[in-house]
Amino acid sequence: MVVDNKATVTYVQLLKEDLVIIRLVPKDGPVPDFKAGQFITLGLPNPLDNGKIVRRAYSIASHPENKDYIELVIRWVRKPLPGRLTTQLFNLKEGDEILWLKPTGRALNINEELPNGEKDNRRIICIGGGTGLAPFVSFAQHFHDTGDKREIIVLQGASYVDELSYKDLLTSLEDESIEKGKDAWNFKYRASISRPQEWFNRSWGGQIGRVETFLRPRDNGLSPLEELVDDKITKDNTIFYVCGWQGTIDGVMDFLKPKGFVSEHEKREDGSFELKYESYG
């Protein structure tokens, strides 16, 4: 039988009608140990189904070193019918109780070793579509707080500018990288807006199109991503982590497959791969 733990919702930040950042603090013990990239399962009794508990997975946006709270970014699912758990989550207030199961998941665990036993020091490119950014907010803070010197780039895709949920945090991490120098902290963040023609997005001057367009070569043969890192992206110097719609993962693979990249799901006989992903399904 599943035994749910209890937590208190300590912080609710509504970014827009259907996008929220929430923080949880366990009631009966410390914030659980987890790895950057993992998800936690939340649950609430469903009043429309005799109080049966509805449980769903949510990627953790906070980092393992943060023992103050677990942070999540959640979309209210409205179509075709209101989502069973998210509709309830959006009614929660600070101080309310929620149920949780311990963090788990391997799909986006950070790769530390190459098949030959050497440390994996490849550049890390994280591509998050919408709330699929969450695991990479955890990655960025984890790398920062543990003094990891690997190069890490976070790319976020969103339909609207007010959905760039962690722009402030990620921009300040990049500012710190510029200030301290790449040898101390090597981080960049960029976003792409996929509905640039809409009036609400009229102030957007950055990359446009879905997030995978960062990989599309321009006339000079270099993609915006290669221009950003000032290097040719190859399967020997870069590993990708992608979280989002299956279409985002497929879109990224369409650019990388011709360059010889393979995902962990289809890894080579020697165990090597250059892309890990978690799909919205």
Ligand X SMILES: Cc1cc2nc3c(=O)[nH]c(=O)nc-3n(C[C@H](O)[C@H](O)[C@H](O)COP(=O)(O)OP(=O)(O)OC[C@H]3O[C@@H](n4cnc5c(N)ncnc54)[C@H](O)[C@@H]3O)c2cc1C
Ligand Y SMILES: NC(=O)c1ccc[n+]([C@@H]2O[C@H](COP(=O)([O-])OP(=O)(O)OC[C@H]3O[C@@H](n4cnc5c(N)ncnc54)[C@H](OP(=O)(O)O)[C@@H]3O)[C@@H](O)[C@H]2O)c1
74 touches ligand X (CB under 6 A): yes
134 touches ligand X (CB under 6 A): yes
The nearer residue to ligand X, 84 or 235, going by C-beta atoms, is 84
Q: Which of 12, 21, 31, 77 binds ligand Y (CB under 6 A)?
A: 77
Token representation of residue 149? 């010197």
How near is the Cβ of 130 to ligand X at its closest, in Å? Answer: 8
58 touches ligand X (CB under 6 A): yes
Backbone angles phi, psi at 94, to 5 degrees: -55, 130
Do the strands 207-208 and 187-193 form a parallel or antiparallel pair, or are they unpaired? parallel
Where residue 223 falls (left for φ over 0; alpha for ψ -120 to 50; beta otherwise) is: beta
| Measured distance CA(135)–CA(262) in Å, rounded | 21
How near is the Cβ of 80 to ligand X at its closest, in Å? Answer: 5
Tell whether omega for the bond before 26 is within 30 degrees of 0, i.e. cis: no
The nearer residue to ligand Y, 10 or 87, going by C-beta atoms, is 87
Where residue 168 falls (left for φ over 0; alpha for ψ -120 to 50; beta otherwise) is: alpha
62 touches ligand X (CB under 6 A): no
Is 204 within 8 Å of 161 (Cβ atoms)? yes
How near is the Cβ of 227 to ligand X at its closest, in Å? Answer: 30
Query: C-alpha distances in angstroms, 105 versus 8, 110, 144?
Result: 23, 11, 22
Q: Which of 77, 208, 228, 262 binds ligand X (CB under 6 A)?
A: 77
213 touches ligand Y (CB under 6 A): no
The nearer residue to ligand Y, 158 or 253, going by C-beta atoms, is 158
| Measured distance CA(41)–CA(192) in Å, rounded | 29
108 touches ligand X (CB under 6 A): no
43 touches ligand Y (CB under 6 A): no
Alpha carbon 279 to chain centroid distance? 11
Token representation of residue 234? 């190859």
| Measured distance CA(242)–CA(235) in Å, rounded | 15
How near is the Cβ of 2 to ligand X at its closest, in Å? Answer: 16
Q: Which residue has the tokens 């907010």?
A: 137
85 touches ligand X (CB under 6 A): yes
Q: Which of 21, 31, 66, 83 binds ligand X (CB under 6 A)?
A: 83
Interacting residues toward ligand Y by CB under 6 A: 59, 75, 77, 129-132, 157-159, 163, 194-195, 210, 243-245, 247-248, 251, 278, 280-281
Interacting residues toward ligand X by CB under 6 A: 39, 54, 56-59, 72-75, 77, 79-81, 83-86, 105, 131, 134, 278
